[in-house]
Amino acid sequence: MFSYSAVSGSVPLIIFGIILHGACWDFFFTAGEIYTDRKAGPAIKARAQGLYKVFSQGVGWAIGGFIAGSIYNNTITKQGVASLPQWQIFWLYLLELLLL
């Protein structure tokens, strides 16, 4: 949705993409918390949830930020309106890698 709205400027696609992102975000972290809560015993439940948070929101964000930053630096080279087609490439980068 973000890739197509970058070129077309479609505000409804951007809003729907943000809503979908929020729902997926909540599902991922809530499901992880529930899974950790059920699998860890009472003696290590707090430590297991802390470790889950460190890996999902600490290490995962650091690695994801590094990768996304590298893709951004290699993809978005123009500024202003001239960069809009490049944003479509940025948002579809992973899909393009999977289809190769």
- Domain with 53, as residue range(s), is 2-99
| Per-residue pLDDT tens digits for 45-94 | 999 999 998 988 899 889 999 999 999 998 889 988 888 888 888 888 88
Q: Which of 24, 9, 41 lies closest to 49, judged by CA?
A: 41
Q: For the chain, how many structural domains are there in total?
A: 1
Q: Do 35 and 54 touch, CB atoms closer than 8 A?
A: no
pTM (global) more than 0.75: no
pLDDT greater than 80 at residue 6: no
